[in-house]
Structure formats: structure tokens, C-alpha cells
């Protein structure tokens, strides 16, 4: 398994070059038997190779800005890349004016030496957790091509899992980094919202949107996150598992688990306990209050409607109807409803913080089921039901603005994710916990 640090070591020793890594990634994208055509909406072959060659020349001169130097990285289609439109997985904006400059997260990655190979496919306008896109096709899950990759950062996950990139930039409004990571056997990180700038990213919900990485290890995600947050690309030291206080909420998040996820979660908790972690179940009533608070559409629908309403009026017939119907729900919410929701959110955040203060992390399945088959989503009602089930656990922590990371859990078959949730603003400590837990549950 190639990680950022393992490839950085190979580059440092001269066993490979950035140009070789980039050529390899581009070959995977171009493979007619692979998923490249459905994974990327745009590939910048020429720009990537020029950046790789420049990275190799800088390295030869002793200039290595970070462990990301020379590493191929993909970027979700809703981030601005200078000189390109930002269509966000849609055909409606494919001819939009090109971005004048890179989004700050992209600019920071380039400054760190990352090689941007292209823009990855996504659910149109990021409004679904399943990853289905009727405009560009849906990339097949790397474990079973008949199954979905998860979304909305579908192409981001498949690009990493299939070796088309070493790491990917995604966005997460209700699980859009963590769901595809869980479904594709990767690590995905949703930071506390204020940690990483969202400028230059087409919004879904200003209240809930976050920017996070998908990669093969916690260390990879830590490096990506640090660079995107404008910090030094250091990997936090793992904490000692012995004595860690891990709470398992029994409210909402354990409902409806399938046999594979249930067995994997039980084994993961047992492994943590055997390693000396103190794992306790808690009743966290706040989690049951959140779906009730969101009953009128939550934040995403009205905030998306505010952004999309003029575009919908002009080109609504060109939207994926499964996306437009969710955006149009925003019309139904009054200003008073929205204000009440904002006030209730602040109260629930404080309530959850007080109830979980004694723990180093909370643990639960990222998603309660393994990746569904594409054919299971043909019926609109079933699509809506599965979408809400998949979004359920991760979206709770966007609402509460808590950092959360999804780790692969050993299943012996289809992939499943273990989600760890930290304290708001304590992202580095969550990464230290995740580094300790990662090898124990893999």
C-alpha cells in the first residue's frame, strides 16, 4: 500500500521520480478497462506532467517543500482551479466562466509541491451521500463494480482506491468525505469547519460544509489536512491505546446495522478493549433530537435553494431530478423556521459537548450498511430511503461541528468504516487517537 510517506521516502532515495508516479497515475486514469472516465470530469495531463517535471528538478536542487512534493493528488469538481470552470458534477455549469484563481486549499497543496492530476466526479452539486451521477456516469466501487462508491465525493475515493491519485481533496456537508471512504476502504477526515478555508468551493450549505482529505492512512490525511489548513505538514504522534476513553453512543447510530457491519464493529470494539482502551456505552439523547430539528429540511435545503434558485429557474430541467427535488425543499422553510433551527443547533452543540467531555473520542459505524448495489437505487423511493440511511450517522457531526474520521474496519469482504468523533476544535487530538486505533481495527 503506497502512502504519502512511503512514496516521499522513495522519492528522497531516488528509487522513483515524480514524473514516474504521475505517469503511472495518468495511465490508470486512461486505462479503457478501468474507471477513469467515470472517476474524473477533467484530466490535466499536460499540467500534471509539467508540475511533476518541475518537482523533480527542484528536488535535484535540494528544494523539497513538504512530504507532498511530487505526489499526485486529485481535486473534487466543486473546487476552483485557475483557468477552468467549476461545474460541481453538473452539466448546467459546464460552460461557466473559468476560475480566476485556485481555491486556497488547492493553492496550498500546489505550494507544498503536490501534483494536481485532475478534477473528480461527484454527485451533482454534492447533494447526496450515494455518489450517483446521471451526467458523467457513476464510478464503480473498487471492491465490487456493481456497487456504489458513496458520495458525494465519489470520484475522489475511487481515484485513490484505484491508484489514479495518492490522496484526494473532498468536501463533507453530511458525510461526503467519510461515506465514500468507508465504502472504498479508505481513511477520510472531516475537520472542525473553521479549520480549513472553504473559499473557492461551490457551496451546498454554508453552515455545514467542510473540506477534508481522503487517503490510505491517517498519516496521509493528517499531512493533507495540515497543508490545507495552512500549517506545517506534520503527523501527530499516536496516543497509547491503553487508557483511552472511548464512548459508544447507543442512540440512533447503531440502528439498522447489517450483519457485516455489526460483526466488524463488534470485533473492532473488542480489539480496542483488549488493547487497554476503556470502551463504554452511553445514552446520548442529543442525537435523537437532531433528526427532529431537521424535519423541515435542515440547513442544506434552504441554503442550497438560496444559491440555486435563479439557476433552477433558467435551467432546472437540466438538473438531476433527485438533486433538484432536495434543493426545492428549501422553498418550504420560513425565515422563522431557519432562525429557530440556528438557535436550536447552538443549544444541542452545547448539550452534546457537556455529555461527552469526559471521553477522548466517540466510536460508531460510519455507515450502518455495506455499499448498496447500483440496481437497488433504480426506484426513487428506495434511493431516498437508502440515501438518508447512509447519511444518518456522519451528518450528525456536521450538525454538531465536531471533527470526525472514518477508518477501515476489517470485514473479510465488503468494506465498512469505523467513525471516531473528537471534540470541536481538537482535530489534532482526534488524529492522535485515530493513529492509535487504526492498526487495531484494520
3-state DSSP call for residue 1?
A: coil
Q: Are residue 48 and residue 21 in the same domain, yes or no?
A: yes
Distance CA 228, CA 170 (A): 11
Q: Are residue 341 and residue 268 in the same domain, yes or no?
A: yes
Cell of 114: 503536490
Nearest CA to 169 among 214, 206, 199? 214
- Peptide bond preceding 152 in cis form (omega within 30 of 0): yes
> pTM above 0.95?
yes
- Cβ within 8 Å of residue 302, ≥6 positions away: 330, 333, 338
Torsion from C-alpha of 132, 307, 176, 331, nearest 10 degrees: -80
Nearest CA to 409 among 373, 439, 376, 378? 439
- In total, the chain counts a number of residues equal to 442
- The reported pLDDT for the residue numbered 299 is 98
Q: Do the Cβ atoms of 300 and 174 come closer than 8 Å?
A: yes
E-assigned strand segments in 355-395 = 361-365
Task: Please report, for the domain that includes residue 190, its CATH number.
Answer: 3.90.1300.10
Of 228, 254, 274, at which residue does a domain stop? Answer: 228
Residue 413 lies in a domain: yes
Q: Are residue 30 and residue 173 in the same domain, yes or no?
A: yes
Q: Are residue 174 and residue 283 in the same domain, yes or no?
A: no
Residue 409 lies in a domain: yes
Q: Are residue 221 and residue 336 in the same domain, yes or no?
A: no
Q: Alpha helices of 112-208 — where are they, by DSSP H?
A: 154-161, 178-183
Element (H, E) at 279: strand 278-282
For the beta carbon of residue 234, count every other beta carbon within 10 angstroms. Answer: 12
Residue 365 lies in a domain: yes
Element (H, E) at 430: helix 427-441
Nearest CA to 153 among 203, 185, 112, 188? 188
Task: Report DSSP letters for 20-38, one per residue.
Answer: HHHHHHHHHHH-TTSSHHH
Q: Which residues are catalytic?
A: 76, 152, 176
In this structure, the strands spanning 404-409 and 187-190 are antiparallel
What is the DSSP secondary structure assignment for residue 151, as one 8-state letter? Answer: S
Residue 145 lies in a domain: yes
Q: What is the pLDDT along the chain (442 residues), one digit of tens a residue?
A: 799 999 999 999 999 999 999 999 999 999 999 999 999 999 999 999 999 999 999 999 999 999 999 999 999 999 999 999 999 999 999 999 999 999 999 999 999 999 999 999 999 999 999 999 999 999 999 999 999 999 999 999 999 999 999 999 999 999 999 999 999 999 999 999 999 999 999 999 999 999 999 999 999 999 999 999 999 999 999 999 999 999 999 999 999 999 999 999 999 999 999 999 999 999 999 999 999 999 999 999 999 999 999 999 999 999 999 999 999 999 999 999 999 999 999 999 999 999 999 999 999 999 999 999 999 999 999 999 999 999 999 999 999 999 999 999 999 999 999 999 999 999 999 999 999 999 999 9
Domain containing residue 368: 245-293+329-441
Q: Are residue 362 and residue 215 in the same domain, yes or no?
A: no
Residue 298 lies in a domain: no
Task: Report DSSP letters for 69-93, one per residue.
Answer: TT-EEEEETTB--BTS---TT-STT
3-state DSSP call for residue 220?
A: helix
346: left (phi over 0), alpha (psi -120 to 50) or beta: alpha
Residue 305 lies in a domain: no
- Considering its fold, how many domains does the chain have in total? 2
Q: Are residue 170 and residue 205 in the same domain, yes or no?
A: yes
For the beta carbon of residue 37, count every other beta carbon within 10 angstroms. Answer: 16
Distance CA 98, CA 322 (A): 27
Residue 324 lies in a domain: no
- The reported pLDDT for the residue numbered 1 is 73
Residue 313 lies in a domain: no
Q: What does the longest C-alpha to C-alpha distance in the chain come to? A: 62
- Cβ within 8 Å of residue 259, ≥6 positions away: none
Q: Are residue 215 and residue 364 in the same domain, yes or no?
A: no
335-356 helix and 286-293 helix, angle to the nearest 10 degrees: 170
Q: Are residue 45 and residue 163 in the same domain, yes or no?
A: yes
Please report, in angstroms and rounded to a whole number, the separation of the first and last CA atoms in the chain. 13
3-state DSSP call for residue 48?
A: helix
Q: Are residue 198 and residue 99 in the same domain, yes or no?
A: yes
Q: Are residue 126 and residue 250 in the same domain, yes or no?
A: no
Q: Are residue 280 and residue 412 in the same domain, yes or no?
A: yes
Amino acid at each position: 500500500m503506497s502512502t504519502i510517506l512511503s512514496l516521499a521516502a522513495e522519492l528522497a532515495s531516488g528509487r522513483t521520480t515524480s514524473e514516474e508516479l504521475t505517469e503511472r497515475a495518468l495511465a490508470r486514469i486512461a486505462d479503457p478497462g478501468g474507471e477513469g472516465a467515470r472517476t474524473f470530469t477533467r484530466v490535466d495531463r499536460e499540467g500534471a506532467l509539467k508540475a511533476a517535471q518541475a518537482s523533480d528538478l527542484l528536488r535535484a536542487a535540494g528544494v523539497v517543500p513538504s512530504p507532498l512534493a511530487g505526489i499526485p493528488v486529485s481535486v473534487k469538481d466543486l473546487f476552483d482551479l485557475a483557468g477552468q470552470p467549476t461545474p460541481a458534477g453538473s452539466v448546467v455549469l459546464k460552460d461557466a466562466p473559468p476560475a480566476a484563481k485556485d481555491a486556497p486549499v488547492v493553492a496550498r497543496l500546489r505550494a507544498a509541491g503536490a501534483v494536481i492530476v485532475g478534477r473528480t466526479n461527484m454527485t451533482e452539486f454534492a447533494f447526496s451521500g450515494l455518489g450517483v451521477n446521471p451526467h458523467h456516469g457513476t464510478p464503480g466501487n473498487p471492491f465490487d463494480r456493481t456497487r456504489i462508491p458513496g458520495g458525494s465525493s465519489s470520484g475522489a475515493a475511487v481515484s485513490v482506491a484505484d491508484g489514479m491519485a495518492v490522496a484526494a481533496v473532498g468536501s463533507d456537508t453530511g458525510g461526503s468525505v467519510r461515506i465514500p471512504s468507508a465504502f472504498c476502504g479508505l481513511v477520510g477526515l472531516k475537520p472542525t469547519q473553521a479549520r480549513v478555508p472553504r473559499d473557492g468551493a461551490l457551496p451546498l450549505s454554508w453552515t455545514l460544509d467542510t473540506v477534508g482529505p481522503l487517503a490510505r492512512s491517517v498519516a496521509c490525511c493528517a499531512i493533507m489536512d495540515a497543508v490545507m489548513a495552512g500549517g506545517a505538514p506534520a503527523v501527530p504522534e499516536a496516543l497509547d491505546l491503553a487508557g483511552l476513553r472511548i464512548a459508544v453512543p447507543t442512540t440512533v447510530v447503531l440502528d439498522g446495522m447489517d450483519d457485516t457491519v455489526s460483526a466488524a464493529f463488534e470485533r473492532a470494539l473488542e480489539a480496542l478493549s483488549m488493547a487497554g482502551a476503556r470502551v463504554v456505552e452511553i445514552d446520548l439523547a442529543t442525537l435523537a433530537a437532531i433528526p427532529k430539528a431537521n424535519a423541515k429540511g435542515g440547513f442544506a435545503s434552504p441554503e442550497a435553494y438560496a444559491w440555486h434558485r435563479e439557476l433552477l429557474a433558467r435551467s432546472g430541467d437540466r438538473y438531476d431530478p433527485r438533486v433538484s427535488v432536495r434543493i426545492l425543499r428549501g422553498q418550504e422553510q420560513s425565515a422563522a423556521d431557519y432562525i429557530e433551527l440556528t438557535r436550536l443547533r447552538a443549544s444541542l452543540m452545547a448539550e452534546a459537548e457537556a455529555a461527552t467531555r469526559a471521553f477522548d473520542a466517540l466510536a460508531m459505524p460510519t455507515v450502518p450498511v455495506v455499499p448498496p448495489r447500483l440496481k437497488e437505487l433504480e426506484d426513487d423511493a428506495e434511493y431516498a430511503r437508502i440515501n438518508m440511511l447512509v447519511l444518518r450517522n456522519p451528518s450528525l457531526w456536521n450538525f454538531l461541528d465536531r471533527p470526525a474520521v472514518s477508518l477501515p474496519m476489517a470485514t473479510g469482504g465488503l468494506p465498512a468504516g469505523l467513525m471516531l468523533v473528537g471534540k470541536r476544535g481538537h482535530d489534532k487530538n482526534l488524529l492522535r487517537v485515530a493513529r492509535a486505533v487504526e492498526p487495531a481495527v484494520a
